[in-house]
């Protein structure tokens, strides 16, 4: 039986990591941790690597969690404690569209996509986002992730968790099917 107590989710910017993590947290009644919320401070300032690792270590002490984020600074801390991993390997065009759509939806009166929030401390401080810069940065990261990083991350996940404790989801339909399976599993546990 698969253990969903501590789930880590990897994927390119715009792949749906946060949405999936929130859904799983709600369905499984476990804490959801968004690494962007831990990393970004007001005015888009970043902690040192040592400070960030200390913040993440504290969060990992919880009994159960679902974490999303691609921070290589802490990946070596997450995988050994994770009981299950999900890698979102969606087509690049989906991630790029979502990046553009959500950034414009968040920063203009136009609605292209369900608007997502900025990291918690950024939102609370009222720090503004520079939309074109954000689109460029997130798109660049998404392309580099898809071209150079995803194969290595999948290998790290396989080595850390074995063959039965991870899942690679290739498209939005796979994500929906997985969420429904988890929802069904959880409702059967209740009855």
109 vs 1: CA distance, rounded Å: 47
* Distances from the Cα of 54 to the Cα of 9, 49, 59, 68, 165, angstroms: 20, 9, 9, 17, 26
- Give residue-wise pLDDT tens across range 132-175: 999 999 999 999 999 999 999 999 999 999 889 999 999 999 99
4 vs 84: CA distance, rounded Å: 6
pLDDT of residue 177: 97
pLDDT of residue 113: 66
Residues in the chain: 191
- Give residue-wise pLDDT tens across range 26-82: 999 999 999 999 999 998 899 999 999 999 999 999 999 999 998 999 999 999 999
- Is residue 29 domain-resident? yes
Q: Which residue has the tokens 């690679």?
A: 168
- Is residue 178 domain-resident? yes
Q: What are 28's two structure tokens? A: 């499984």
Q: What are 131's two structure tokens? A: 């939309």
* Cβ-based burial of 150 (10 A; exposed 0-12, middle 13-18, buried ≥19): buried
- Is residue 170 domain-resident? yes
CB count within 10 Å of CB 172 equals 14
| Ranges of H-type helices in the chain | 17-28, 35-39, 49-60, 72-81, 92-107, 120-125, 131-144, 150-161, 172-190
- Is residue 81 domain-resident? yes
Enclosing domain of residue 77: 6-190
Q: For the domain that residue 82 is a member of, what is the CATH number? A: 3.40.50.300
- Is residue 96 domain-resident? yes
- Is residue 129 domain-resident? yes
Q: Which residues pair with 85 in a beta bridge?
A: 8, 166
- Is residue 160 domain-resident? yes
Coil, strand or helix: which one is 93? helix
- Give residue-wise pLDDT tens across range 73-103: 999 999 999 999 999 999 999 999 999 999 9
**Predicted structure pTM score:** 0.92
- Is residue 1 domain-resident? no
Domain count, the chain: 1
The distance in angstroms from the start CA to the end CA of the chain is 18
Q: How confident is the model at residue 128 (pLDDT cuts 50, 70, 90)?
A: confident
Q: What are 48's two structure tokens? A: 């040192």
């Amino acid at each position: 039986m698969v253990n969903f107590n501590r789930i880590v989710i990897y994927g390119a910017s715009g792949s749906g990591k946060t949405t999936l993590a929130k859904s799983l947290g709600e369905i499984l009644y476990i804490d959801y941790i968004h690494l962007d919320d831990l990393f970004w401070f007001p005015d888009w300032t970043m902690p040192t690597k040592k400070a960030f690792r200390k913040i993440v270590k504290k969060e990992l002490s919880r009994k159960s969690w679902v974490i999303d984020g691609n921070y290589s600074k802490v990946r070596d801390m997450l995988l050994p404690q994770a009981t299950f991993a999900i890698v979102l390997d969606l087509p690049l065009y989906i991630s790029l569209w979502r990046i553009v759509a959500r950034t414009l939806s968040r920063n203009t009166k136009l609605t292209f996509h369900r608007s997502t929030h900025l990291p918690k401390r950024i939102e609370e401080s009222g720090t503004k986002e520079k939309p074109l810069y954000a689109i460029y940065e997130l798109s660049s990261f998404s392309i580099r992730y898809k071209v150079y990083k995803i194969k290595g991350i999948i290998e790290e996940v396989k080595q850390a968790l074995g063959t039965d404790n991870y899942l690679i989801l290739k498209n939005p339909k796979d994500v929906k099917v997985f969420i429904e399976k988890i929802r069904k599993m959880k409702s059967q546990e209740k009855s």
